[in-house]
Structure 1
Amino acid sequence: MISQNTIDSVFETARVEEVIGDFVNLKRAGSNFKGLSPFSDERSPSFMVSPAKGIWKDFSTGKGGNSVKFLMEHSQFTYPEAIRYLARKYNIEIEETEQSEAEKANTDIRESMYLVSEFAAKYFQDVLLNSEEGKAIGLSYFKERGFTNETIKKFNLGYSPETWDALTKEALGKGYKLEFLESTGLTIAREDRPFDRFKGRVMFPIQSMSGRVLGFGGRILTNDKKAAKYLNSPESDIYHKSKVLYGIYHAKQSIAKQNNCYLVEGYTDVIQFHQAGIENVVASSGTALTPDQIRLINRLTRNITVLFDGDAAGLRASIRGIDLILEEGMNVRVCSFPDGEDPDSFARKNSHDALVAYLEENSKDFIQFKASILMGEAKNDPIKKADLIRDMVTSISKIPDRIQREVYIQECARIMDISEQVLVSTLAQLIQKDIAEANKKQKQDQKPFEVHRNQPPKNAGFSGGDPEDPRTGPPDDYPGEPGYYPDAPAEKVNILYGFERKIIEILLLYGSVVENFEDVFLKADEEGNVKEVSEKREYKVFEKVYLSLQEDEVELSNTLFQNIYNNIIDFYNQNETFSLDKYLMHLQPEFAQEVTNILMEDERVTIHNWEGQNIYPKHKSETIEQNVSETIFSMRWYLVSGIIAELKNSLLTDPQEDNSEVLSMVVDYSKLLNNFSKKLGRVVVPYH
């Protein structure tokens, strides 16, 4: 178990923008950073990182938290895994404390699969470098490919012995369970005995963007025609072929830095490019390119250069993936190598400078590339040429951006010597057809459902919370339907929810700030007359809030808010100074989501660029005392309005009874409402 000292060091050292920057291409937006959400398919940035607050917020999905929470959400790390990852990143020594049996038993299935995969990767490399068989067969193969020892270690290359159950025996002997060897595909179970899937193959571990071993690719070295040349791990809970790119872990920083990603087909293509000094390269690992793989690159850059082998048949088949890239709104260039060459062989034969120069000189726009490849087939055949033009316009129709489509249509018209008007007409027909098919599919996918009368419109544009999150709901001044809250009057819950959420926000942002607040109390003069007197007194904001709620004998009605409130007040009382970083470091995971939502509320302004539309929100810190006082008085006003409404309802239940006492209470509470109205400086309309 990781010691608290290590955890504290990790939180104190880790910078949220650096951690997330390894996975998301961030761009500065004022004092913050923004980028495309890594959790949804979007083309406009809604992902915000606040270095000052040490947190992030994804406005497209509602997710948010600190560095550790990001790793847990993005890479499915457990809490300890995230801490270990950050400790490695920042070279922090991990102190361990003894783990209890109960804690060991809580290790989940996915973590066990990761652990057995990581063990296998280390085992395969150890066999490669230290066994006679590994050195004679596996290592000699990699050396023939021109890989250095440094490269072999960097990519954790290995060798699986020819023996039927070498890995399985070793893993079982080390205490790893057979069920996890099977679920990762490392071992194939038979009734008589289990055996290794990858026996007699050189091994290529496949890593996630965070560096975890997800699965393996194994290449056979014999001429056995019955065996597949390459064999991959089967699909599992941790390995999904369509969502993985080989080399992404080693390439991510270079991709973001170079603002371009080279896409190749095989493992050795990636490795050879890295060894040649070009690191912004990944491979689809021999599988057809998928939208998920493209989106993985899109988190780091919008520019892809697809590298093709020199053979014409491979080129014709491979260019189909270009349309998928265009659909994701990315910029595509294409580069092919001389006939008979592939990225691996070409990189091996050329120096770094020669390779860079070749890529720069021979990378073509996808329209030029398609024309050069397909024109050879069309030659002087009018029908084939028409098909080629239609093929090119089909690709252009996949581009979401209208301006880019216009530019490519002009380029296509120039290259193919055809009227631009004809291409525009064809493009319009194709787009209309795509829209019709999409609408048809949407109607088929829709199922009848009943909308609750209190459910808000799905994309309601209010700022008091996430419109699709039933916990936050719209504020009381939202003109549409109030949010849906089961088993409670929606309007009542919404209004009170808003006040209580505001109290938590005030405590988080300004709790330790000292302000002068107006205190009102009764004082007798020399003649014995009691008068209401007010005077300014100095309080920390958290003290004023706490004393006000204590005075009113009020607890927050929302259980989550009350728990967060207690947590914050305890933190203020136990610490002389309040540090948001320190508070978030020790924040319970069950509170983290809501606290992040509240803290990042202001970042919506940056995301939506209100100032660019000449809308200038007032900064809350400019009126802290007013903000606190208005929130407290408004909440009192609301609660008193509720009491008055209940008293009036009781008058209706039995009109025959003597209601003079109740009427007196209504009058007294109404005077109190008028008092609140004066304090707030506006006319008070009862909520109830």
Structure 2
Amino acid sequence: MAIIKRTCIDSIKDKVNILDVVSPYVVLKRVGASWRGLSPFNNEKTPSFFVHSDKNIFKCFSTNNAGDIFRFIQLKENLSFSESVEFIARKFNISLEYESGGGTQQNVSLKKELFDIHAVATEFFVQQFFENNADGEKIRKYWEDGRHFSLEVAKEFNIGFSPPNASSLAKYVCRKPFSLESLKQSGLFYFREQETDPLKFRSRFRGRLVIPIRDIQGRVVAFSARQTSLTPQDDSSFEAKYINSPETPIFTKGHLWFNLDRARTAIKDTERFLMVEGQLDAIRCWVSCLHCVIAPQGTGITENQLNMLLRYSPKVDCLLDGDRAGQKAAFRILPLALKIGLDIRFLVLPEDSDPDELLQTADGLARFNAIREQAKDPINFAIDLFFAGKQNISVPEKTEILNKIFEIISHCESNTNKLGYLNEAIAKLGIDRQSAEKDFWNYLNKKTSHRVEPPIERDVKEKSHNRKLTSLEYEVLLLMLNYEYLDIPFSHTINPDWIEPDTMQGRLLVRFLDEIREGNWHGVKHLDELLSDDNEKNYIASLRYEDVNVENPIQAANACIRALYQNFIKKRITHLNIEINSTPFTHKEKLHQLQLELMKLRQLLTKNIPAIQITPIKENLTD
């Protein structure tokens, strides 16, 4: 792979503001000079993720991740450094320059090629959908008359058609110089493992309506294909109503929602996501002005997917099909939703109906709003599902249902939420509160390895957050990163022996000062080249994120130098005292020499203390 020019990387850093990179992933609100939001790296309820737009740096206090625009994309998209540079360059339409004479298609990363292949495939499918031939007319008729969508909606969502011919997609895609490896890993083709001619690859989707699946950035990463009358019977997946792209380096179904790239921009603080089962249900909701709609990639919703929603809104309404299977699919979401603190409600459709059918009726939107007004909270939804339409429930049946509710509630991390949901279940089932609460805490104690006590109400005082303890090495690094004119004077003045080598700060400071002395220091912009692992990168980025406002940087630098120097002398004095105390009294000459050395060290504590001298540049002033 070709190496991207350093000047090109610096140019991208200068041109692209980190707010534009982070905003698609995190809802940010301004707080003073910074921007704050929920961490995109884990599940949290209190925002601990900060962006400093002036410094082009982010800092996540819950995970300790920190860095620049490239580091953020590396973490979020699971990319290498060079891939993250390519990712940002592509998003912001910046041309890349390579050390080896240019970025040919063979030189760019696999993931970038896969994104490009999916973009070309989307172009092909859309062309086939609107093609002026018999198949094009049939697929458009199916879309308009069979699915009752307009052609404008097809254009908006890039709906496509994969023709029955098995080789047509490969012929179209191979007009671009994609590598054999990227074509094989795209998930778009069937092929023999030893096949080296991509023109012999067979399309995975044949005679099907094709729906593009996009990631949070709006890039096509996969497809879902619906069977039609044009699907050939010799197709290996002919019986399947839907077939989907397999997982690839750019597509993991448990990490993605259909339409989230659009819905996240429509969500507001007071609105809720609307979760439906399939892509066509989601498109129907969208054209019915329900723009916060999303759909999973299959029924197996993951904790990762639910955490993605928390970045934009903690509120979700679940609208799955009205049959028993749809309700059970909704029920499977419950433990995960309660575990991460999602405010989830369930909209129950009439039996044997789905969102697509409901919203196609003349009063569909009004009927939907009526259903939404009757939304059920998690416990009421679960109990109604357990009742299964029964009117009279026996005491043993209530006990069985309550144990199932215990299992659901146990996933809550908050004891307050546990008690709240438990009280709802007690009221719904009409059982004795004291007995139910006792049974619940007994249930938790059996389930966990440690004893769980019922929460006791007490006054909670807000803890004060003391500023973290810092070392002298830390203070020097902070000054070096924020006042670069101090770097060379520091390297000339600080003796490496003064630095504590057993800490990260000490190791980094020794490394940086050595690089400056050897003439290999290229400034703060190029620090990544000197950092050996993610811990070091996070640490340095955290230092750069800090707001530093030193009234007199030279004075602060000399204070650090004086303290480092004196600490070093004090350690020598301590070691010397230990040696004196362990030397026998009869070794008078040795004791005498040690005492003289001790006197000299004590004098060094206050005399000839090293300091940097920087003469300020005076401006020529005229009267």
State the TM-score, normalized to the length of structure 2.
Answer: 0.77
Tell me if the contact between 2:339 and 2:411 (Cα under 8 Å) persists in the aligned partners.
yes
2:228 is equivalent to residue 221 of structure 1: yes
Structure 1 residues 137-176: Cα deviation after superposition (integer angstroms, max 9, x where no partner): 3333333323344432333321111001211222234222
Partner of 1:547: 489
Q: Assess, with a 3 A threshold, how the Cα gap between structure 1 residues 547 and 226 changes in structure 2: closer, same or farther.
A: closer
Q: Provide the secondary structure at the position in 2 that maps to 1:204.
A: strand
Partner of 1:335: 347
Query: Partner letter of residue 264 of structure 2?
Result: K
Partner of 1:673: 605
Query: Partner letter of residue 246 of structure 2?
Result: P
- In 2, distance between residues paired with 1:344 and 1:146? 10
Deviation of 1:560 (Å): 4.1
Deviation of 1:228 (Å): 0.9
Structure 1 residues 265-312: Cα deviation after superposition (integer angstroms, max 9, x where no partner): 101111112222222221123332222221222222222211121224
Query: Partner letter of residue 244 of structure 2?
Result: N
Q: Assess, with a 3 A threshold, how the Cα gap between structure 1 residues 360 and 65 changes in structure 2: closer, same or farther.
A: same
Partner of 2:479: 506
Q: Provide the secondary structure at the position in 2 that maps to 1:130.
A: coil
Partner of 1:211: 218
Tell me if the contact between 1:637 and 1:676 (Cα under 8 Å) persists in the aligned partners.
no
Counterparts of 1:372-391 in structure 2 under 5 Å? Answer: 372-382=384-394, 383-391=396-404
Tell me if the contact between 2:97 and 2:103 (Cα under 8 Å) persists in the aligned partners.
no
Q: Assess, with a 3 A threshold, how the Cα gap between structure 1 residues 3 and 138 changes in structure 2: closer, same or farther.
A: farther
Partner of 1:254: 266
- In 2, distance between residues paired with 1:94 and 1:33? 26
Partner of 2:361: 349
Partner of 2:419: 406
**Aligned counterpart in structure 2 of residue 22 of structure 1, from 24, 28, 47:** 24
Partner of 2:143: 142
**Aligned counterpart in structure 1 of residue 563 of structure 2, from 622, 630, 634:** 634
Deviation of 1:52 (Å): 4.4
Count of matched residue positions in the alignment of Structure 1 and Structure 2: 569
Tell me if the contact between 2:491 and 2:517 (Cα under 8 Å) persists in the aligned partners.
no
Tell me if the contact between 2:318 and 2:330 (Cα under 8 Å) persists in the aligned partners.
no
**Aligned counterpart in structure 2 of residue 597 of structure 1, from 542, 554, 558:** 542
- In 1, distance between residues paired with 2:275 and 2:524? 40
Deviation of 1:200 (Å): 1.4
- In 2, distance between residues paired with 1:43 and 1:411? 23
Query: Partner letter of residue 442 of structure 2?
Result: Q
- In 2, distance between residues paired with 1:356 and 1:13? 46
Q: Provide the secondary structure at the position in 2 that maps to 1:199.
A: coil
Query: Partner letter of residue 364 of structure 1?
Result: K
- In 1, distance between residues paired with 2:14 and 2:151? 36
Alignment root-mean-square deviation, CA:
4.2
- In 2, distance between residues paired with 1:641 and 1:393? 62
- Percent pairwise identity: 24
- In 2, distance between residues paired with 1:87 and 1:150? 31
Query: Partner letter of residue 402 of structure 2?
Result: I
Q: Provide the secondary structure at the position in 2 that maps to 1:185.
A: coil
Q: Assess, with a 3 A threshold, how the Cα gap between structure 1 residues 127 and 76 changes in structure 2: closer, same or farther.
A: farther
**Aligned counterpart in structure 2 of residue 397 of structure 1, from 410, 428, 445:** 410
Counterparts of 1:472-511 in structure 2 under 5 Å? Answer: 498-509=471-482, 511=483
Q: Assess, with a 3 A threshold, how the Cα gap between structure 1 residues 154 and 85 changes in structure 2: closer, same or farther.
A: farther
Counterparts of 1:650-661 in structure 2 under 5 Å? Answer: none
Partner of 2:61: 59
Partner of 1:108: 109
Counterparts of 1:618-629 in structure 2 under 5 Å? Answer: 621=550, 627-629=556-558
Partner of 1:451: none
Deviation of 1:648 (Å): 8.6
Tell me if the contact between 2:162 and 2:210 (Cα under 8 Å) persists in the aligned partners.
yes
Deviation of 1:666 (Å): 4.9
Q: Assess, with a 3 A threshold, how the Cα gap between structure 1 residues 426 and 551 changes in structure 2: closer, same or farther.
A: closer
Tell me if the contact between 1:50 and 1:56 (Cα under 8 Å) persists in the aligned partners.
yes
Partner of 2:444: 431
Tell me if the contact between 1:323 and 1:398 (Cα under 8 Å) persists in the aligned partners.
yes
Q: Assess, with a 3 A threshold, how the Cα gap between structure 1 residues 665 and 4 changes in structure 2: closer, same or farther.
A: closer
Report which stretch shifted further, 260-269 or 212-221.
212-221
Deviation of 1:208 (Å): 1.8
- In 1, distance between residues paired with 2:524 and 2:143? 48
Q: Provide the secondary structure at the position in 1 that maps to 2:177.
A: coil
Deviation of 1:44 (Å): 4.7
Q: Provide the secondary structure at the position in 1 that maps to 2:449.
A: helix
Deviation of 1:122 (Å): 2.3
Tell me if the contact between 2:316 and 2:344 (Cα under 8 Å) persists in the aligned partners.
yes
- In 2, distance between residues paired with 1:435 and 1:111? 46
- In 2, distance between residues paired with 1:155 and 1:589? 42
- In 2, distance between residues paired with 1:9 and 1:194? 40
Q: Assess, with a 3 A threshold, how the Cα gap between structure 1 residues 213 and 676 changes in structure 2: closer, same or farther.
A: farther
2:285 is equivalent to residue 285 of structure 1: no
Structure 1 residues 173-232: Cα deviation after superposition (integer angstroms, max 9, x where no partner): 422233322222211113784311111111122222223332221111138695211111
Counterparts of 1:533-544 in structure 2 under 5 Å? Answer: 542-543=485-486
Q: Provide the secondary structure at the position in 2 that maps to 1:341.
A: coil
Structure 1 residues 311-369: Cα deviation after superposition (integer angstroms, max 9, x where no partner): 24432453222222112221110102233431222233357963673354132212232
- In 2, distance between residues paired with 1:323 and 1:678? 63
**Aligned counterpart in structure 1 of residue 164 of structure 2, from 148, 162, 165:** 162
- In 1, distance between residues paired with 2:156 and 2:80? 25
Tell me if the contact between 1:37 and 1:46 (Cα under 8 Å) persists in the aligned partners.
yes
Instruction: List runs of 5+ in structure 2 lacking aligned partners.
Output: 453-464, 532-536, 612-623
- In 2, distance between residues paired with 1:107 and 1:87? 12
Query: Partner letter of residue 391 of structure 1?
Result: K
Deviation of 1:109 (Å): 2.8
Query: Partner letter of residue 126 of structure 1?
Result: Q
Query: Partner letter of residue 601 of structure 2?
Result: Y
- In 2, distance between residues paired with 1:563 and 1:153? 56
Query: Partner letter of residue 211 of structure 1?
Result: G
**Aligned counterpart in structure 2 of residue 197 of structure 1, from 183, 204, 221:** 204
Q: Provide the secondary structure at the position in 2 that maps to 1:378.
A: coil
State the TM-score, normalized to the length of structure 1.
Answer: 0.71
Partner of 1:314: 326
Partner of 1:535: none
Tell me if the contact between 1:255 and 1:281 (Cα under 8 Å) persists in the aligned partners.
no
Structure 1 residues 21-67: Cα deviation after superposition (integer angstroms, max 9, x where no partner): 32124455554343333223445543232334332112333321123
Partner of 2:306: 294
Q: Assess, with a 3 A threshold, how the Cα gap between structure 1 residues 99 and 262 changes in structure 2: closer, same or farther.
A: farther
Tell me if the contact between 1:75 and 1:210 (Cα under 8 Å) persists in the aligned partners.
no
Structure 1 residues 570-595: Cα deviation after superposition (integer angstroms, max 9, x where no partner): 99x99xxxxxxxx8766646555443
